[in-house]
């Protein structure tokens, strides 16, 4: 049975063996070190994972009892132990599945009933039969933050070729600039506002919701007809004055960052229609089935997780970059930052003990090819190693622009190859000599043109970015986070780390307003507040 020390020993023994060396030693490496679903392919051969490393990673997975925890998650057991809840987002996409029990009660009838209500509401809004004060809705504004924003915002952008409903906008930041820029130019009499908040108490969302309500009344709209809510807190939505027919509830066993599959996805359903939304759910469900059935080496979420653990916990690379060569996935890195870092950015294990190894890495990224002209310099020639996760579709949606897509693919493949291969000093010298350079100048210049190579990457390739494929991608990453968390012994479903800042913001509010004195706060905070008061005039 392998452990972290075995993996570290394997890593040390590898020194000097390059990734290209692994390809030279194994003609079947590309096939042997990749995994596929019916239509999606994950290539992790451009890493230093070889057969002994993979065996040791899988053994780790087995010893940490990932299979038992996976079964517990899908069965609705309260695996979110610090909150005493299940983590059952998979039930939201369990379209053809059987019953799912939480505390002995089948949750599927409720899930399907809410989905049916969402469908009727979306159909009516899209058809114009549920209309605003000024006629059919032209625009939808989703007000939410974190999981109540990033999922639908990312998915609405990703699936723009499928939009045939009202335009969707997203407001998240309490910075008034966000809502002001969004509402400017919208018709208050033809806008639907969705207040999306699991708790219906998040200060940013409630502040924005009140601002939107005032804007609507000022503009001649009617919040009683033009506001909807998505929440687990019926009492609070009623208190806010939202028509119960426009309230879509969900249970507390859906974590915020896992909630796009249910009512939090209402804006997405309004944009693409219930049928395409179903396809999105089916994509997620297909990945659930794959995750539960495929053997470890063929299991995409498991292998993606093991690659992540190898790079961060064993090799010690502090970050990982998500690089979609798909402009419509431009919000995916932000979405994954919440999914991965809020889930696994913990320093205490499930049992309260201090983790003996680093937990989740920093996740960041931007779509290619834009990133190539910004931060890839560091990825190729910087002093540290950044494992890269490339993703690309075989076909774009712009069939008349197929040459763009071919170039996009060529760039994506070129980057993973360049990172792996690098360029030696000899090759750099030869390049410059061919340009007529010689002597000391050649030596100096050549060093700048060396690429160390051996920089690892994985590539996820899919046929086309459809609702079904997007559903698979999101569920793939959700389960990857789950496996990493399970191996590390983390509770991936709580987020206590966001509480302290929220509390401090609440206590600082009156001080910034000028209604309470600044005395007693830390000297740095006090000086910053005084600066604000000097320059903004204090309370308004
Ligand atoms: O949906 P709510 O309750 O407004 O919460 C929004 C977000 O805030 C958090 O609780 C923490 O900031 C996230 O986990 C969540 O997605």
Count CB atoms within 10 A of the CB of residue 285.
22
Res. 539: pLDDT tops 50: no
> Measured between alpha carbons, how far is residue 504 from residues 204, 256, 300, 453, 501 in Å?
14, 22, 41, 46, 5
What digits encode the pLDDT tens for the residues 202-235?
999 999 999 999 999 999 999 999 999 999 899 9
Any catalytic annotation for residue 340? no
Q: What is the mean pLDDT of residues 469-480?
A: 98
Domains in the chain and their CATH numbers?
4-75+279-421+456-494 (3.40.50.10490), 98-272 (3.40.50.10490), 497-536 (1.10.1390.10)
> Measured between alpha carbons, how far is residue 228 from residues 11, 210, 392, 425, 524 in Å?
54, 13, 36, 63, 42
Residue 413 CA to residue 41 CA, distance in Å, equals 14
Residue 104 CA to residue 509 CA, distance in Å, equals 44
Give the distance from CA 243 to its chain's centroid. 32
What digits encode the pLDDT tens for the residues 512-532?
999 999 988 999 999 999 999
| Rounded distance from Cα 5 to ligand 1 centre (Å) | 37
pTM for the model: 0.96
Any catalytic annotation for residue 8? no
Give nearest CA residue, ligand 1 atom 14.
Answer: 256
Residue 264 CA to residue 142 CA, distance in Å, equals 9
- Looking from the CA of residue 495, the nearest atom of ligand 1 is 14
Lowest mean pLDDT among 205-219, 303-317, 327-341, 526-540: 526-540
| Rounded distance from Cα 75 to ligand 1 centre (Å) | 25
Confidence of residue 134 (pLDDT cuts 50, 70, 90): confident
From the list 324, 283, 267, the residue with the least C-alpha distance to 149 is: 267
| Rounded distance from Cα 427 to ligand 1 centre (Å) | 52
Confidence of residue 83 (pLDDT cuts 50, 70, 90): very high
Q: Which of 31, 275, 404, 502 is catalytic?
A: 502
Q: Which of 373, 403, 448, 535 is catalytic?
A: 373
Q: Which of 342, 389, 478, 484 is catalytic?
A: 342
- Looking from the CA of residue 199, the nearest atom of ligand 1 is 3
Give nearest CA residue, ligand 1 atom 8.
Answer: 146
Residue 511 CA to residue 211 CA, distance in Å, equals 22
Res. 538: pLDDT tops 50: no
Any catalytic annotation for residue 342? yes
Res. 408: pLDDT tops 50: yes
């Amino acid at each position: 049975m392998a452990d972290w020390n075995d993996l570290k020993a394997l890593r040390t023994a590898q020194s000097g063996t390059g990734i290209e060396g692994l390809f030279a030693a194994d003609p079947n490496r590309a096939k042997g070190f990749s995994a596929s679903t019916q239509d999606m392919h994950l290539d992790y051969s451009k890493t230093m994972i070889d057969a002994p490393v993979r065996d040791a990673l899988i053994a780790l997975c087995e010893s940490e009892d990932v299979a038992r925890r996976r079964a517990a998650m899908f069965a609705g057991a309260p695996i979110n132990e610090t909150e005493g809840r299940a983590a059952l987002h998979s039930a939201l996409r369990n379209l053809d599945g059987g019953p799912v029990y939480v505390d002995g009660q089948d949750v599927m009838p409720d899930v399907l009933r809410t989905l049916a209500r969402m469908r009727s509401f979306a159909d009516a809004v899209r058809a114009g039969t549920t209309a605003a004060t000024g006629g059919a809705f032209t625009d939808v504004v989703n007000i939410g933050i974190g999981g109540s924003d990033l999922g639908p915002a990312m998915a609405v952008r990703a699936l723009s070729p499928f939009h045939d409903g009202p335009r969707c906008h997203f407001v998240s930041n309490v910075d008034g600039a966000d809502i002001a820029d969004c509402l400017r130019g919208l018709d208050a009499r033809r806008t639907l506002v969705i207040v999306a908040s699991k708790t219906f108490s998040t200060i940013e969302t409630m502040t924005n919701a009140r601002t939107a309500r005032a804007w609507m009344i000022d503009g001649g709209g009617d919040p009683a007809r033009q506001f909807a809510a998505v929440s687990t807190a019926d009492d609070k939505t009623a208190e806010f004055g939202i028509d119960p027919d426009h309230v879509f509830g969900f249970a507390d066993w859906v974590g915020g960052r896992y909630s796009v599959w249910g009512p939090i996805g209402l804006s997405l359903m309004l944009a693409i229609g219930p049928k395409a939304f179903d396809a999105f759910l089916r994509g997620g469900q297909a990945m659930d089935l794959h995750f539960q059935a495929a053997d470890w080496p063929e299991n995409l979420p498991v292998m993606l997780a093991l690659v992540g653990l190898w790079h961060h916990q064993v090799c010690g690379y502090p970050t990982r970059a998500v690089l979609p060569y798909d402009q419509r996935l431009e919000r995916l890195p932000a979405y994954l930052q919440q999914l991965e870092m809020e889930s696994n950015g913990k320093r205490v294990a499930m049992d309260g003990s201090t983790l003996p190894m680093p937990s989740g890495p920093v996740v960041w990224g931007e779509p290619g090819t834009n990133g190539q002209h910004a931060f890839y310099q560091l990825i190729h020639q910087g002093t540290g190693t950044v494992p890269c996760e490339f993703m690309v579709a075989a076909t774009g949606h712009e069939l008349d622009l197929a040459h763009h897509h071919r170039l996009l693919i060529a760039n994506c493949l070129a980057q993973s190859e360049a990172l792996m291969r690098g360029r030696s000093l000899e090759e750099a010298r030869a390049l410059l000599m061919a340009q007529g350079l010689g002597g000391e100048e050649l030596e100096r210049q050549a060093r700048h043109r060396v690429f160390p190579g051996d920089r690892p990457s994985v590539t996820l390739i899919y046929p086309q970015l459809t609702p079904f494929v997007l559903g698979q991608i999101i569920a793939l990453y959700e389960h990857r986070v789950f496996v990493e968390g399970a191996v590390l012994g983390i509770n991936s479903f709580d987020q206590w780390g966001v509480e302290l800042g929220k509390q401090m913001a609440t206590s600082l509010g009156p001080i910034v307003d000028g209604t309470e004195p600044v005395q007693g706060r830390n000297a740095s905070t006090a000086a910053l507040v005084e600066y604000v008061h000097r320059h903004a005039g204090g309370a308004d």
